[in-house]
């Protein structure tokens, strides 16, 4: 990774130095895999081999090995040879896959949903500009719902005019530029909506699913960035689903 810690060639020397310090106790030795989510596992195996070389040198110096860990979500799903004493599952805890090649390994269920409420509903005539810079012009009269969430909450502004939401188990298109606190949705095809109705931006409602991966693909980024981007303004509601016995 060339991030924290020494380079791997100096790993054993560094650990030997720390082991001799009288007021420190080494709790664990670890590294972090740089390419575990790559469909080509060759460098991941090379990195593990280097990790093993460091451990072997320590054993020749009679330094007892503490807890060992190497595996992130991708390596955890890749095989038990990467598990050692502990694994560090991150993205998979959200029920998200670190790469499409892992979908055959295990069935994960996304556990996070993102919801907001409709704050206003109005009818716009044809030719109306919507939001900043009028990036959307109504081609015909439409019913527009304003939803109380925006980029200050973690909705990427670059998703403007490129995302959908779920309202009453139906998909609806977001239109116009996403603003700091609000975004607009064309709800012309969904009758009898009311202010206060819930809108699902990510997650599942009925049989309809809006996955985090879709946002990441549109933005040319990774799911990690999306789920880490939701700001402190958003309340977190924890729901426990107990299985029926």
pLDDT tens for the chain, residues 1 to 245: 899 999 999 999 999 999 999 999 999 999 999 999 999 999 999 999 999 999 999 999 889 999 999 999 999 999 999 999 999 999 999 999 999 999 999 999 899 999 999 999 999 999 999 999 999 999 999 999 999 999 999 999 999 999 999 999 999 999 999 999 999 999 999 999 999 999 999 999 988 999 999 999 999 999 999 999 998 999 999 887 655 44
> What does CATH list as the number for 8-102?
3.20.20.10
Cα–Cα distance between 47 and 52 in angstroms, integer?
A: 9
Q: How many CA atoms lie within 13 A of 236 on its CB side?
A: 8
Q: Are 124 and 137 in contact (CB under 8 A)?
A: no
How confident is the model over 46-99, as pLDDT tens digits? 999 999 999 999 999 889 999 999 999 999 999 999 999 999 999 999 999 999
Show Cβ contacts of residue 13 under 8 Å, excluding neighbours closer than 6 positions.
6
SS3 68: strand
Q: Which residues contact 240 (CB under 8 A, 6 or more apart)?
A: none
- The predicted model scores a pTM of 0.87
- What is the CATH code of the structural domain delimited by 114-228? 2.40.37.10
Fold agreement between 8-102 and 114-228: no
Domain ranges of the chain: 8-102, 114-228
């Amino acid at each position: 990774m060339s991030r924290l810690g020494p380079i791997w060639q100096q790993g054993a020397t560094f650990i030997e130095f720390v082991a001799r310090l009288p007021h420190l106790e080494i709790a664990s030795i670890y590294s972090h895999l740089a390419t575990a989510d790559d469909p080509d596992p060759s460098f991941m195996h090379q990195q593990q081999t280097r990790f093993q070389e460091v451990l072997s040198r320590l054993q020749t110096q009679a330094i007892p090995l503490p807890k060992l860990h190497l595996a992130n979500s991708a390596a955890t799903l890749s095989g038990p040879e990467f598990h050692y004493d502990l694994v560090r599952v991150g993205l998979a805890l959200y029920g998200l896959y670190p790469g499409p090649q892992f979908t055959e390994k295990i069935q994960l269920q996304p556990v996070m949903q993102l919801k907001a409420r409709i704050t206003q509903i109005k009818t716009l005539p044809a030719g109306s500009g919507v939001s900043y810079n009028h990036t959307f012009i109504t081609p015909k009269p439409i019913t527009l719902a304003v939803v109380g969430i925006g980029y200050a909450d973690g909705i990427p502004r670059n998703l403007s005019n490129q995302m959908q939401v779920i309202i009453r188990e139906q998909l609806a298109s977001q239109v116009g530029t996403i603003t700091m606190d609000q975004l607009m949705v064309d709800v012309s095809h969904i009758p009898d909506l009311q202010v206060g109705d819930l809108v699902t931006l990510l997650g599942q409602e009925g049989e309809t699913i809006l996955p985090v991966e879709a946002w990441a693909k549109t933005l040319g980024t990774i799911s990690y960035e999306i789920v880490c981007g939701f700001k402190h303004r958003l309340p977190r509601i924890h729901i426990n689903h107990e299985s029926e016995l």
